Amino acid sequence: MIQELINYTQHLKENIPLVFEQNLEPSKGLHIFIEFDEQGNVKNFPGERGKQWEYYDGAEMSSLLNDVLKFEQEGTRIGTNMNKVFDKKKQIVTCSPFIVSFKKEKLDNDKLEGIGAERITKLYDYYFEKAIEECIDNNEVLTQKIIIFAQLLKEITSKIAFFGIAQNDLISHFQEMKKDCFITFYLKGVDFEDYKVAHDNYLKRNLFNKNDFNTDKIINNESFGLSDFYNGLNAKKPFLEHKTATMFKGIASRIKANDTIALNDFSLLLRRKVFPQPLPIFIDKNEFFRSEQILNIFKEDGRINYSQILKRIFKENDSIVLRNYYLLFFNYKHELEDFDYVTKFRFSLEENNSCPEIRNLFGLMQNKELKPTETIKHIFHFEATIVAVIFNGALVKIGEDTYNVHYFGEIKPEFVSGGEPVYQMVMKYRKAFYDYIYKSKIQAINAYMLDEIMWNSIIADLRNDKLTEKGHSKNYIIKQKLNIWFSLYNYFNNNQLKRVDMASKIPELIKKMKSVANNNEEVLDTVEEFAFAAGQIIYFLLNQSKASERTHALLEPFLQKVQIVQLQNSIAQMINTYKHEISFGKGRFERLSAEVLAFESGENLKNYQRLLLAGYFAPAAIYEKTEKIINE
């Protein structure tokens, strides 16, 4: 995959170089260009703001600051720490013979360290000696310019530190800026190409992890070495060593020095958040234009995510095919969390001229009408409609203007709605859902997984239900999850299990409950019908309670019964408890409860828990109006 990243970055550099300026801004502080005459004397210092120097506070960008952008990048160090800088004391943050940058606080006077200017200027000799050695290839003209630049900087740095001597606009900004702002000097009169070559030399000679594995003592473009890009030395860690690759001194592979620059450029783009998450890396050059398309859409609105980008692409042309690419996911620390090869991305969920549907099996209302069947047309519709609901927003959270996903990284249990049961499902299965949605791994999710997720998610809702003025707080979400569960009951079966078609079974059971409740001749024939009817009876009985805590949580003890007789005994006790609230006669409750209490079977109720749950939340036959039943 390393070569694909190199090809990808080089393609960006050649075809859309402006991406390397995206989300880029100068360091906050003073940016000063130093120029000297033929005698080696500094010219026009401090000079005029906007011509010789500029101050950046994070607000407006001037013409000179736009120039600063490209020059400053040619002096950046490798990585975010100070391990590979030229300065032994790690005070000067740049790595170029033409640029010197340090924080304002380094010029502050200190009793222990002495005068601030001295603290910096005494570092210049070694810094520039090292910079010339690393970055300049036997160029006497440039070397002499750098030596003069180094001498002038000692004088100029001291002048700025002792700002009381000569007041001017530059010094005023120096006084006002915060201690963590930077003072950066640039050598004027040197071509930008020289800046670039010098920085490339620094990168090539420092981007290798360790020089022990280099093919050449003096590194050139064609030298091979151990890449520092997401790589480590595992020769002393046998459990981390490659066991199948061709080994050389304990390492598996080396790359060219020139290629390390491309990988470093890729890392810089990552840190600037130029890429969407996840990031597709196409391996076929004929598909590289897709990378440009994705980056351009992402650039239009930095808040847009990967799924929204692909939805826009497929909306423009629903016949396109995305195939043969690596999909990379990096965390906020720019660490690689996951990568995989995607042979073909599945956007549309249409198969055999039909798409999965979420049927309204439990009578959910929308705008005072029954909610219609919802057709899930594409994979990101599935993510927004299904995944967002079943994990209570812990994996996919949708706001008015936001769409956030959390397939990787830390998720704290206390921030997961539903508590421990939902948190465990999130951590156990989020990678499977990521693979299913983003990598089109159809086998990543199966029916057993859906059962476990839905059961635990609904149980969590039962436990967290509250009784409000509008009714049960979790009533809608539980029915919504039941609709999803039973509508997709066989969708993830992958032809492996013999499962009931629950989307058809629930309406059949509701119809049977009405028949039993309204006809003395009808009886419960199966354990399925018994479990469903028991759920209807339990709902009716709990509804008779006047207690303020008659929440859905009261259902859970009934779900834990494993013997039919145990469940019947509990129902009988409830009838006895609430008999004063029930008008007995030849009504629907009496007929249905009589069938439930008289039913006999030795089967384990654990296999029918979901049907008891479904019966509890399904439209209750006991409350059906007689006229409606007659009309039906």
What pLDDT digit, counting tens, does each position of 307-353 carry? Answer: 999 999 998 888 889 999 999 999 888 888 999 999 999 999 999 88
State the pLDDT at residue 480: 97
pLDDT at residue number 533: 96
Closest C-alpha to 223, from 202, 199, 205: 205
Rounded Cα–Cα distance for residues 501 and 524 (Å): 20
Here the contacts of 381-389 (C-beta below 8 Å, separation 24 or greater) are 381/349, 382/349, 382/356, 382/437, 383/307, 383/437, 385/358, 386/358, 386/484, 386/488, 387/433, 387/437, 389/477, 389/480, 389/481, 389/484
What is the amino acid identity at position 358? I
Give the model confidence (pLDDT) of 347-366 as tens digits.
Answer: 999 998 899 999 999 999 98
pLDDT for res 370: 92
324-327 own/partner pairs: CB under 8 Å, 24+ apart: 324/282, 324/283, 324/284, 324/287, 325/280, 325/281, 325/282, 325/283, 325/287, 326/1, 326/4, 326/280, 326/281, 326/283, 327/278, 327/279, 327/280, 327/281, 327/438, 327/439
- The predicted model gives 417-441 an average pLDDT of 96
pLDDT digits (tens, 9 = 90+) for 445-478: 999 999 999 999 999 999 999 988 888 999 999 9
Question: Distance of alpha carbon 565 from its chain centroid, rounded?
Answer: 50
In degrees rounded to 5, what are phi and psi of residue 34? -105, 130
Q: In the predicted model, is pLDDT for residue 165 greater than 50?
A: no
Distances (CA, A) of 506 to 483, 489, 542: 10, 12, 22
Question: Do 54 and 68 meet the contact criterion of CB atoms below 8 Å apart?
Answer: yes
Q: In the structure encoding, which two tokens stand for residue 505, read together?
A: 């079974």
Count the helices and strands in the chain (H runs, E runs): 22, 17
Mean pLDDT, rounded, for 221-227:
72
How far does Cα 567 stand from its chain's mean position? 45
Q: Which residue has the tokens 């812990």?
A: 394
Is there a contact between 51 and 65 (Cβ–Cβ < 8 Å)? no
pLDDT (0 to 100) of residue 630:
46
Segment 64-70 shows an average pLDDT of 92
Mean pLDDT of the 175-204 span: 93
With 70 as the cut, is the pLDDT of residue 628 above it?
A: no
* Of the ranges 42-46, 374-378, 621-625, the best mean pLDDT one: 374-378
Task: State the residue for tokens 């109720």.
Answer: 605
Q: Judge residue 45's burial from the number of C-beta atoms within 10 Å of its C-beta, 0-12 exposed, 13-18 middle, 19 or more buried.
A: buried
pLDDT of residue 503: 94
In the chain, the percentage of residues whose pLDDT exceeds 90 is 56
- What gap in Å lies between CA 133 and CA 150, rounded to an integer? 15
Burial class of residue 167 in the structure, from the number of CB atoms within 10 Å of its CB (0-12 exposed, 13-18 middle, 19+ buried): exposed
CA distances from 546 to 239, 536, 562, 580, 621 (A): 64, 19, 29, 12, 22
Q: Is the pLDDT of residue 254 over 90?
A: no
Across 404-426, average pLDDT: 93
CA–CA distance, 79 with 264 (Å, rounded to integer): 9
Host H or E run for residue 225? strand 224-225
Structure tokens at 30: 């003073």
Share the mean pLDDT of the chain.
Answer: 87
* Per-residue pLDDT at 112: 41
pLDDT computed for residue 167 by the predictor: 62
Q: Which residue has better confidence, 41 or 108? A: 41
CB 281 within 8 A of CB 325: yes
d(CA 565, CA 572): 10
Q: What is the domain partition of the chain in residue ranges?
A: 2-205, 211-270, 275-344, 357-487, 502-631
Written in H, E and C, the secondary structure of 330-383 is ECCCCCEEEEEEEEECCCECCECCECCEECCCCCCEECCEECCCEECCEHHHHH
CA dihedral 290, 291, 296, 302 (to 10 degrees): 130
Per-residue confidence (pLDDT) for residue 106, from 0 to 100: 86
- Provide the pLDDT for residue 206: 84
Say what the alpha-carbon torsion angle 578, 579, 583, 585 is, to the nearest 10 degrees. Answer: 140
Sign, Cα dihedral of 455, 461, 467, 470: negative
